[in-house]
Amino acid sequence: MKYLFSGILSLLFCAQVFAQDSPIKWSFEAKALEDGIYELHFQADIEGEWYLYSQFLNSEDGPIPTSFEFEKVKGIELLGKTEEISDVIQKFDDMFAMELKYFKHEAKFVQKVKITDQTKLAKGFLTFMTCNNEQCMPPTDIDFEFILK
């Protein structure tokens, strides 16, 4: 009976940990440049002592890097790769026992695209993982879409 009660308490604690809201809040904005070229801006507001990992991590054994996946749409061409435009912190992480790149408080990314039709919808999803000095949240996918006119 004692083990059953302990097991139930453990499950309730785990359910509460995974039910937490993410400490990362995302916003998206498209900015028209010229000649059908747009910048797609992705901004992550990062709460407190949490951090968001860079796209450019050097190890497969560590945390999941932030990544952007765009649906292929006729009439929209990606120009280059998604760029990180915020200052990245690079230092040794005790939890993963490796050198990591991450953002604190805010992270901004930008992807340039060119459209060849009048109105297009650029959409896809991004994947990210967030940790603090004590714990990590599981990797999360967030859908995004931009109406380009």
24: helix, strand or coil? strand
Report residue 25 as tokens: 């809040």
- pLDDT by residue (tens digit) across 104-138? 999 999 999 999 877 789 999 999 999 999 999 99
Instruction: Pick from 13-22, 33-42, 54-63 the range whose average pLDDT is largest.
Output: 33-42
Percent of the chain whose predicted confidence (pLDDT) is above 70: 87
Asked if residue 4 is part of any domain, the answer here is no
**Count of domains observed in the chain:** 1
Asked if residue 20 is part of any domain, the answer here is no
Spatial strand order of the sheet with 130-131 comes to 89-93, 98-104, 51-53, 130-131
Asked if residue 3 is part of any domain, the answer here is no
CATH number, domain containing residue 124: 2.60.40.1250
Asked if residue 54 is part of any domain, the answer here is yes
Q: Which tops the pLDDT comparison, 29 or 2?
A: 29
Question: Looking at residues 38-64, what average pLDDT do you find?
Answer: 94
Where in the sequence is the domain holding 111, given as residue range(s)? Answer: 25-148
Asked if residue 41 is part of any domain, the answer here is yes
Asked if residue 72 is part of any domain, the answer here is yes
pLDDT at residue 10 in the model: 39
Asked if residue 17 is part of any domain, the answer here is no
